[in-house]
Structure 1
Amino acid sequence: MSHVFPRHCHGTFPTATGGDGCFLIDASGKRYFDGSGGAAVSCLGHSNERVKQAIKDQVDQLAFAHTGFFTSEPAEELADLLIANAPGDLDRVYFVSGGSEATEAAIKLARQYFVERGEPQRRHLIARRQSYHGNTLGALAAGGNEWRRQQFAPLLIEVSHIAPCYEYVERAEDETPEDYGYRAAQELEKEILRLGPDTVMAFMAEPVVGATMGAVPPAPGYFTRIREICDKYGVLLILDEVMCGMGRTGHLFACEAEGIAPDILCIAKGLGAGYQPIGAMLCSSGVYDTIAGGTGFFQHGHTYIGHPVAAAAGLAVVRELLDRGLVAQARERGMYLGEQLRARFAQHPHVGDIRGRGMFWGLEFVADRDTKTPFDPKLGVAGKLKKAAFAEGLICYPMPGTRDGKHGDHVLLAPPFIASEAELSDALDALGRAISTVIGAATA
């Protein structure tokens, strides 16, 4: 009998015993292609020698030193490397252990920034419906997925949520993508004016929406207008790149595709590539200098921030991404993946939308393509797809509740950047079989 508290108490899981490139291996020897990188984590696959050696070397030299007393060489080097490649005037890096910690830190930094500027009335955070920013209480409050929030709602801080930029569902037939992007962005200005411009501290969004909507990129010009609105009202722009950053969408930082830079940026998952738990919050020089020139103390912290072994792993991961040209490879290989997805599934009667960027793609399933009507949630399409694909030796990331937290089903694909075209093709064969099995039963 296991004493592990699992994610789901009513299921059993095989024991993972090994990793080989893009594959995970269980105790029976069965191989699974990691088509979602876990949760868009394993960008380098599961057996990168450079990263493994960096971890071993760091453990031999220094395993841990609390940042209340010391800094460390790998943390300093990783911060330098990230800032050297970061957009805009991002200038400082605050290391944490994962994505929820990064977004939580970002919310608290935004608040302290305005307190130290003498604007304590700025307390409102605005985010988007169907976003996901993490599972700690502050991050969950910022997230806009009603299913995740519902039972914890009494514990959550108040956050305003505007509409997502969701072209497949929200763009009108007579509207250009650019016009839709502008209209969707204007929701932010309306909400700022409703709350009172001098009471809003920040707007938080994912450049490409991940888990809760399935790799939804923004409409053209959307984030350009968002940046303009934030600047107009003195509101900080927080971008959550925990899932879509670190090369996943074909740029080291996902916002580079939009030609903008945030005031605060959150990364995790691909930063450690699964080899160590690590995340980071990056902030602009203006935000940092306000704290440094005021109290000089960010009133926040966790025991393992700046952990030397985690930082050494992150440093090796980012060097691997840059030195081997893997960000460009993610962009190019992602074009192949997108082409193959469209070739195989674009005409499927129950695939409503195929969207994505780089090695980050989503398929949304519908009961009716013409009306874009989702399947009845009672059919459990997403959960059945996960099981059917897993039986085929494919790890993918299906989720229910795509539209509103309850209705809609999608599958998210986020394979390692090192995946070959042949491996991707085989994975899509497996996905096709799983879709046929599950959708066939759902429509019978």
Structure 2
Amino acid sequence: MSNVFYRAVNKELLEVDYGEGIYLYDTAGKRYIDAASGAAVSNLGHAHPVVLEAMMKQAGKVAFSHLSRWTSKPIQELADLVAEVAPGDLSKLYLVSGGSEATESALKMARQYYVERDGQSSKYRIISRWKSFHGNTLGALSMTGDGRRKKYTPLLLDFPHIAPAYCYRCPFDKKPESCGVECAQDLERCIKTEGAEYVAGFISEPVGGAACGAIVPHRNYSKIVRQICDQYDILMIDDEVMAGFGRTGSLFAIDDFEVVPDLICAAKGMSAGYSPLGAVIASQKIYDAFKQGSGVFVHGHTYGGNPLSAAVALSVVRVLIKDKIAANARTVGAYLLNRLKETLLRFPFVGDVRGKGLLLGVEIVKDKTSKEPYPLAKGMAARLTQTLAEHGVIVYPGTGNADGVNGDQFLVTPPLILTKDQADELVAAMRDAFTAFGKTI
């Protein structure tokens, strides 16, 4: 009996020994393609020498100092570098320790921004989408729009949700040729229903992640959202915890949609799994409201801005820029997406293959024509994930796509250093696994 309280207490887990590049090795010596990057985290792969060197160097100086009393060169240099590459005037970096802390911080920053700006404000609610995941702390879970919230509903804030930007299962029954981006227009309906005087922000992922399997919104979605937010004096919060720092083929996924948000939430790829880190990147106008107001953001976490995580993230972002990692994600990601479509859509239980860069998703269906899902009780996502692992591929599964309960999908999010040859290796292994799995249905 283990004394570890695992997330899935009855699940038998593989035991990792070490990692190298895009591969992980278990304690029996078996090699796996880390096609999940853990949880879309390990953007530079495992054991990257530049990052390891930066980590050891900083650990030999000072690993921790509290941001309420000390600053440090790593956090200053990281903030300067992020300011150079972030969209528009987003230049002020607020550091935390992970994605849920980042979105929770953005929620509170949005609320306090209006209080600082106006002296008092009724704005506090955050609108988000169904089929979204914004974190597991209570504020972040209140903004989340998938099944992770169900057991905790009595504890959550009463925040509204709008239709998902889900072209494969369009909630408005539109086709691409008839689409008026109704899913974006749904934001205005919600604002009018709730009252703009109570709404502080709208949060969304530019490309959907864990809750939906890499759904890519209509090309005009973010532009419409930006216009609506401006019209009703609401902050546009861009959740790039998963998509940010190169995964979709740009350093920030929102850049491809030609929009500048008010806040960006980042984590995962920003430190690439080498040390826990998250951040909110704020626009100048938001920073100025605090600067000219009380001067204090009433919020903070113990490990936010620690020198070790900041030094690690600084080395990661420098490598991303120097080695043009985002460009590789764009090029190899497009190649991998085409190969996955060619290979996997032939299987009768694969309904959709989609995504952007190296944030890709595969949706499993019972009937390709009607898009009918398998019932949750069949455990298709878990079973297919297990079969893939037996064939040396680790993916990131999810459920509830069709109706909040049924509907299976998984993410394919390998490290951004993936080569085309490795993409071919991945596709071949997945083809074999899908073939084997198909015989069990």
Range that drifts further, 59-68 or 347-356 = 347-356
CA distance in structure 2 between the aligned counterparts of 1:46 and 1:255, rounded to whole angstroms = 27
Aligned residue in 2 for 1:111: 111
Change (3 A) 1:30 1:226: same
CA distance in structure 1 between the aligned counterparts of 2:394 and 2:36, rounded to whole angstroms = 6
CA distance in structure 2 between the aligned counterparts of 1:12 and 1:249, rounded to whole angstroms = 32
CA distance in structure 2 between the aligned counterparts of 1:173 and 1:152, rounded to whole angstroms = 31
Aligned residue in 1 for 2:50: 50
For the 8 Å contact 1:78–1:315, the answer to whether it is kept is yes
CA distance in structure 2 between the aligned counterparts of 1:355 and 1:402, rounded to whole angstroms = 14
For the 8 Å contact 1:382–1:410, the answer to whether it is kept is yes
- Secondary structure of residue in 1 paired with 2:102: helix
For the 8 Å contact 2:163–2:171, the answer to whether it is kept is no
C-alpha displacement of 1:426? 1.7
For the 8 Å contact 1:98–1:280, the answer to whether it is kept is yes
C-alpha displacement of 1:220? 1.8
What are the within-5 Å matches in structure 2 for residues 207-246 of structure 1?
207-246=206-245
C-alpha displacement of 1:174? 6.2
CA distance in structure 1 between the aligned counterparts of 2:425 and 2:323, rounded to whole angstroms = 25
CA distance in structure 2 between the aligned counterparts of 1:172 and 1:303, rounded to whole angstroms = 45
C-alpha displacement of 1:431? 1.7
Could you give the per-residue CA deviations for residues 128-175 of structure 1, whole angstroms, max 9, x where no partner exists? 001000011110110000x21111111001110000100111176764
CA distance in structure 2 between the aligned counterparts of 1:316 and 1:402, rounded to whole angstroms = 37
CA distance in structure 2 between the aligned counterparts of 1:256 and 1:36, rounded to whole angstroms = 24
C-alpha displacement of 1:411? 1.5
CA distance in structure 2 between the aligned counterparts of 1:19 and 1:347, rounded to whole angstroms = 32
Aligned residue in 2 for 1:324: 323
Aligned residue in 2 for 1:126: 127
C-alpha displacement of 1:439? 3.8
Matching residue's letter, 2:200: M
C-alpha displacement of 1:433? 2.5
Change (3 A) 1:174 1:205: closer
Change (3 A) 1:27 1:347: closer
CA distance in structure 1 between the aligned counterparts of 2:398 and 2:411, rounded to whole angstroms = 8
C-alpha displacement of 1:4? 1.4
- Secondary structure of residue in 1 paired with 2:272: coil
Range that drifts further, 314-323 or 3-12 = 3-12
CA distance in structure 2 between the aligned counterparts of 1:297 and 1:429, rounded to whole angstroms = 54
Could you give the per-residue CA deviations for residues 21-76 of structure 1, whole angstroms, max 9, x where no partner exists? 11111111111110111111111110200000000000111111111111111111
CA distance in structure 2 between the aligned counterparts of 1:151 and 1:227, rounded to whole angstroms = 33
CA distance in structure 2 between the aligned counterparts of 1:90 and 1:343, rounded to whole angstroms = 40
Matching residue's letter, 2:304: I
- Secondary structure of residue in 1 paired with 2:168: helix
Aligned residue in 2 for 1:343: 342
CA distance in structure 2 between the aligned counterparts of 1:20 and 1:132, rounded to whole angstroms = 29
Aligned residue in 2 for 1:203: 202
Aligned residue in 2 for 1:142: 143
Aligned residue in 1 for 2:84: 84
CA distance in structure 1 between the aligned counterparts of 2:140 and 2:174, rounded to whole angstroms = 36
CA distance in structure 2 between the aligned counterparts of 1:416 and 1:264, rounded to whole angstroms = 26
Matching residue's letter, 2:210: A
CA distance in structure 1 between the aligned counterparts of 2:278 and 2:173, rounded to whole angstroms = 40
Please give the TM-score of this superposition, normalised by the length of structure 2: 0.97
CA distance in structure 2 between the aligned counterparts of 1:154 and 1:111, rounded to whole angstroms = 22
Does residue 382 of structure 1 match 2:381?
Answer: yes
For the 8 Å contact 1:124–1:199, the answer to whether it is kept is yes
Change (3 A) 1:80 1:401: same
Aligned residue in 1 for 2:403: 404
Does residue 38 of structure 1 match 2:35?
Answer: no
CA distance in structure 2 between the aligned counterparts of 1:200 and 1:56, rounded to whole angstroms = 45
Matching residue's letter, 2:424: S
CA distance in structure 1 between the aligned counterparts of 2:380 and 2:176, rounded to whole angstroms = 32
- Secondary structure of residue in 2 paired with 1:364: strand
Could you give the per-residue CA deviations for residues 391-421 of structure 1, whole angstroms, max 9, x where no partner exists? 1111111211122331111111010111222
Aligned residue in 1 for 2:292: 293
Stretches of structure 1 lacking an aligned partner (at least 5 in a row): none
Please give the TM-score of this superposition, normalised by the length of structure 1: 0.97
Does residue 364 of structure 1 match 2:374?
Answer: no
Q: CA RMSD in A?
A: 1.3
C-alpha displacement of 1:181? 5.4
Aligned length: 440
Range that drifts further, 308-317 or 403-412 = 403-412
Matching residue's letter, 1:231: D
Does residue 258 of structure 1 match 2:257?
Answer: yes
CA distance in structure 1 between the aligned counterparts of 2:6 and 2:194, rounded to whole angstroms = 41
Aligned residue in 2 for 1:93: 93
CA distance in structure 1 between the aligned counterparts of 2:109 and 2:171, rounded to whole angstroms = 34
CA distance in structure 2 between the aligned counterparts of 1:172 and 1:234, rounded to whole angstroms = 27
CA distance in structure 2 between the aligned counterparts of 1:171 and 1:141, rounded to whole angstroms = 22
Matching residue's letter, 1:394: V
CA distance in structure 1 between the aligned counterparts of 2:291 and 2:121, rounded to whole angstroms = 18
Change (3 A) 1:333 1:181: farther
Does residue 427 of structure 1 match 2:426?
Answer: yes
Matching residue's letter, 1:226: V
For the 8 Å contact 1:374–1:407, the answer to whether it is kept is yes
For the 8 Å contact 1:238–1:265, the answer to whether it is kept is yes
Could you give the per-residue CA deviations for residues 207-248 of structure 1, whole angstroms, max 9, x where no partner exists? 000001001111120110000000000000001100111100
CA distance in structure 2 between the aligned counterparts of 1:8 and 1:261, rounded to whole angstroms = 39
Matching residue's letter, 2:375: D
Stretches of structure 2 lacking an aligned partner (at least 5 in a row): none
For the 8 Å contact 1:215–1:356, the answer to whether it is kept is yes
CA distance in structure 1 between the aligned counterparts of 2:41 and 2:122, rounded to whole angstroms = 38
C-alpha displacement of 1:200? 1.0
C-alpha displacement of 1:186? 0.7
CA distance in structure 1 between the aligned counterparts of 2:175 and 2:48, rounded to whole angstroms = 46
For the 8 Å contact 1:181–1:218, the answer to whether it is kept is no
Matching residue's letter, 1:56: M
CA distance in structure 2 between the aligned counterparts of 1:171 and 1:133, rounded to whole angstroms = 21
